[in-house]
A and B are shown apart, each in its own frame.
Chain A
Amino acid sequence: MGTSGSGKSTLLNLLGCLDTPTSGEYYLDGAKVREMGKAERAVLRNRKIGFVFQSYNLLPKTTAIENVELPLMYNVNVSATQRREKAIKSLVSVGLGDRLMHKSNQMSGGQMQRVAIARALVNDPVIILADEATGNLDTRTSYEILVLFQELHSTGRTIIFVTHNPEIAQFCSRNIILRDGHIVEDKMNEKVLSAKEVLDALPIEKE
């Protein structure tokens, strides 16, 4: 968490193996990232990291299932049938089992973000990096997405959620606050709020 210019994005790029640190070392799942070449890092991203972006970044005119299959397309070890199975499984786990063949422009923002999350999950990553994943969504949908993240977290996934919104921090088990490129606070959140409860408490909008 941090204000703009605090170094959130740089940290995320480093964690996501998109960039390499100028000094220091970054170990991802035991591998030294700093010494890796571009291509090696690409493979590493493909196998170990899932990204969720603020603006979803789905491929246009492409069905949900094809979007989710995308990371596996770059993995030689996954066959076409395995790819499809995994993508369907992943989409079902984010609650889009009935939207497999919908194209990205036929879905709502919340649904698109769910597809993006399914895409991040499909390669069974060691960490999921979410960059302002709720930034473009309305309050209700934001909480829905947070519920999903909390559920994923409870099944044992590491999720790094980057945000400037302190409200969202309440739903996370550990809060790291950045300012001007430095960590100013790193504490465990003793009282993690349940997004589901908050969602249920939200007043239902009247049509």
Chain B
Amino acid sequence: MNGTNLFKISLKALNNNKLRTFLTMLGIIIGVASVITMLAIGQGSKRSIQSQISEMGSNMIMIHPGNMERGGVRQGASDQQTLKLEDYQSLRDNCKYLAGVSPVVNSSGQLIYGANNYPCSIYGVSQEYLDIRQFSVESGESFTDQDILASAKVCLIGKTIVDNIFTGGEDPVGKVIRFNKIPFKVIGVLKSKGYNSMGQDQDAVVLSPYTTIQKRVLAITHMQELYCSALTEDLTEKATDEITTILRHNHKLKETDDDDFDVRSQQELSTMLSSTTDLMTVLLACIAGISLIVGGIGIMNIMYVSVTERTREIGLRMSVGARGVDILSQFLIEAILISITGGIIGVILGIGASFGVKLIAKWPIYIQPWSVFLSFGVCTITGIFFGWYPAKKAAELDPIEAIRYE
């Protein structure tokens, strides 16, 4: 049979009953539009959480001292002094999967400049810390190996600090501020990062060489924490294993001993949060999927009524030479046309609604190309699936009875 002719016949039949065609389509339109919008919202929130985590450094690995027993008594993690300079050095020199390692020691106190003061923590780190945490220097420059060796009293400050103690609008670079009476020279200002997903101000930060904080502020020799970054996010797990092996070797732990340190990666956090949003996406998609099925049943319903209503027409077509397969094709094409057209309108409406949500509710949205193809594919299959039965029924009509059907 000539496909073009059948297509024309179907199109004509749909065109003859515009309102009914539109109402049938409506189910599919709503179904597809809601699938796309729901997925866009779900994916959007997942993406926004992921990007916040990666702003914190998604490939970041934190090593804390911890879990040490002395004669059966567990010690508090903050009291531990298990992370030593040698650990830092061996991680820095031997780890294949790490892009950077930085010790972290910190102390809280009051920052003073002129008549202003501001409470904050000062972090003693190495230069690599900037890369690990994805900080960058906006003006001035970062400290050098020389500064670390010399325990130089220099620091980098964040935007919040600048705003709070340099109220006169002067350039902080080159000025000397005091931290608990110890003077530090400001050599650079960090670029603003804003708040992270936990609500912490990432700009209320003061960075100094770790040697300076160890010797001049805290008077300790151990590291409070080690921050590392894996080469890529995917390598985080391998890097974690490597770190564990090296540290266990350094600490001369036996096979049976527990780790006296704690390696944590952001990936765990990232996995946890994205599994939550994944669940939400699945739930939303389920609801939307149900509406798509309801739309499909709508098609079946209308097609079924349409077959009964057009029995005479079918009889006539058969008597002038339409075979069963021609009638079947005609009704299937009608169903598919309805679902595809509805699908296209639904896609447009869904994308529109997604942007509407973004604009009005200010929710993060992300339209994934596969969600468009998926819902489009599903609605075509819905059309074929639900159009099949009525079309089959039409094709099986007896032309003798159909032509005289009242």
Contact = CB atoms under 8 A, between A and B. Distances in A.
Pairing of A with B? yes
B365 to A, nearest CB: 43
A16 B319 contact: yes
A74 B316 contact: no
Q: How large is the interface on A (under 10, 10 to 19, 20 to 34, 35 or more residues)?
A: 20 to 34
A38 B318 CA distance: 10
B321 A75 contact: yes
A46 B1 contact: no
Contact of A57 (B5, B322, B403): B403
B9 to A, nearest CB: 6
B324 A74 contact: no
B320 A46 contact: yes
B249 interface: no
B216 interface: no
B312 interface: yes
A70 B16 CA distance: 16
Contacts of A18: 318-319, 399-400
A76 B2 contact: yes
Contacts of B2: 73, 76
Contact of B1 (A38, A47, A61, A74): A74
B400 A13 contact: yes
B1 A76 contact: yes
Nearest to B318: A42
A46 B321 contact: yes
A2 interface: no
Contact of B320 (A60, A61, A70, A76): A70
Contacts of B321: 42-43, 45-47, 71, 74-75, 123
B400 A74 contact: no
Contacts of B320: 45-46, 51, 70-71, 74, 119
Contacts of A74: 1, 5, 317, 320-323, 326
Interface string B5-48: 10011001000100000000000000000000000000000000
B324 to A, nearest CB: 6
Central interface residue in A47, A51, A123, by most chain B CB within 10 Å: A51
A62 interface: yes
A61 B400 CA distance: 23
Interface in B312-342: 312-313, 315-326
Contacts of B5: 73-74
Nearest to B406: A55
Contacts of A13: 400
A57 B316 contact: yes
A151 interface: no
Contacts of B313: 59-60
B403 A53 contact: yes
A38 B312 contact: no
A60 B399 CA distance: 18
Interface of A: 13, 16, 18-19, 38-39, 42-43, 45-47, 51, 53, 57, 59-62, 66, 70-71, 73-76, 119, 123
Given A39-B323, A45-B319, A47-B321, 6 more contacts: A42-B326, A57-B403, A60-B313, A62-B12, A74-B1, A74-B322
4 closest A-B pairs by beta carbon, nearest first, are A46-B321, A42-B323, A71-B320, A39-B323
